[in-house]
Amino acid sequence: MMYVPSYFEFVNSAKLLSGDYALENIASEMNLLGSVRPIILSDATLEKIGSVKLLTDALAKGGMRPSSVYTDIPLDSSIEKVNEIAVIYRERNADGIIALGGGSVIDTAKGLRMLISQGGRDIMRYVGSEMLNKGQNVPFAAIPTTSGTGSEATGVAVIKDGERKVKLEFISSFLLPDIAVLDVRVLESMPPRITALTGLDALTHAIEAYSCLQKNPISQCYAISAIKLIMANLEQALRKPKDKKARISMAIASYIAGAAFSNSMVGIVHAIGHSVGGVCSVAHGEAMTILLPVCMRYNRDYAKEDYSELLLYLSSPDVYASTDAAARADKAIAVVEDFIAKIKESAPIATRLSERGVMKSDFEEIAIRAMNDGALIVNPRNADKDDILKILDEAF
């Protein structure tokens, strides 16, 4: 039965441009929003493989010339980087932002957007949740080049404070891009490992959004669509990287899973996963892949109904119908585990913490950090430090 919370909020204000010639439509959409000379943010790899040129050519066709193209964004962007780009933005008199890249580039762009619209030189002042007003209008388009973080659909930016070496979270619906653009031409060069890990990250977003405390009829509906798309397309995207339909389907899945979790938030998989990443530099998607089944087992008795329902979308109507109602939640977890195992056959990904050099001596620090992660607040089952240590042990 559909769960209706006593109160919830939902926002997904980005306009989505998805499919053939999506890049070519950006100029016109940005014009409508009042931008004629945006700054382009991307990274060195995307510049090297020609994705940035693809974008600037597409913009040129629409008569748009960017005020500058900035591609010096590292994988792990920082507050300092955002502040630095803001200087360039103002110097060049840019009037909008187009971000082309993975999570780090898009989060950097969100930080820049916030700093420009709020004014000032340092985004540190704006750390927090929902405390910003809209500020000055800064048209912002995001073009993801991986299919997993869903950052193009979320009102969250996670940016490192390089000095204190901690990740800071910015939450505001005004961080949402005005336009999200999904175009296979910038997605098909994704290597198998990234395709696999980002795809499984998106699956985690959908499963956590579906079962966490802030679930609601809209986010659950988004989560279901994302799960269906991922189960039907991730393997194909790995087998045939140039398969357009599989690629765009994964991009859509990532986008809607992002919209789902931006509203109902993610839970314990992310709380622990962020910390595993922070302490041991395990890639985000990999931490998700390793932790998802273990955490689902931890949550099972508290999310039983949700997991049972998800079995239908994770498998097939036949499997769902032939599984005893009481066994569906367990079956759903088993299906997720099998799916990850199958993905592992076509891409070099880890499924245990020990495979990625995490040591048992890291557990204490990981658990302490996970306890301070906001994602823990909406997990269906409460977790204290000992619970987290047990989960880490099981995932080792």
Partner 1 sequence: MKAFLKTTVCSVVLHVLYRALKVLVRKDSRIRHEFSSFKDGFTIRITLSTEGPSVVMRKEAGRLSWIKEAEGEDLELKFKSIDSAFLVFTGMMGISRAYAEHRITVKGDIADVMTLVRMIDIAEAYLFPRIMSKRVLRAVPSKERSSLSVYRMVLLGF
Minimum distance, C-beta of residue 212 to Fe ion, in the bound complex (Å): 13
Residue 378 interface partner, choices partner 1, Fe ion, none, CB cut-off 5-8 Å depending on type: partner 1
Minimum distance, C-beta of residue 118 to Fe ion, in the bound complex (Å): 26
Measured at CB, which residue is nearest to Fe ion? 201
Minimum distance, C-beta of residue 150 to partner 1, in the bound complex (Å): 19
- Is residue 24 within 8 A of residue 63, CB to CB? The reply is no
Residue 241 interface partner, choices Fe ion, partner 1, none, CB cut-off 5-8 Å depending on type: none
- Positions in the binding site for partner 1 (CB under 8 A): 5, 7-9, 127-131, 166, 168-169, 171, 213-214, 265, 371-374, 376-378, 380-382, 384
Q: Does 201 bind Fe ion (CB under 5 A)?
A: yes
Question: Residue 174 has which token pair?
Answer: 């005004």
DSSP per residue, 317-380: HHHHHHS-GGGHHHHHHHHHHHHHHHHHHHS---SSGGGGT--GGGHHHHHHHHHT-GGGGG-S
Half-sphere exposure of 203 (CA within 13 A, CB side): 35
Cβ atoms < 10 Å from Cβ of 235: 18
Between 67 and 145, CB nearer to Fe ion: 145
Between 133 and 361, CB nearer to partner 1: 133
Whole-angstrom CA distances from 70 to 38, 54, 97, 122, 335 are: 11, 15, 11, 19, 43
Between 11 and 341, CB nearer to partner 1: 11
Residue 201 interface partner, choices Fe ion, partner 1, none, CB cut-off 5-8 Å depending on type: Fe ion
Between 274 and 328, CB nearer to partner 1: 274
Minimum distance, C-beta of residue 119 to partner 1, in the bound complex (Å): 16
In the three-class reduction of DSSP (H, G, I as helix; E, B as strand; rest coil), residue 144 is classed as strand
Residue type for position 277: G
Between 87 and 131, CB nearer to partner 1: 131
Closest CA to 73 of 39, 118, 96, 37: 39
What's the CA gap between 349 and 286, in Å, rounded? 7
Which parts of this chain interact with Fe ion (CB under 5 A)? 201
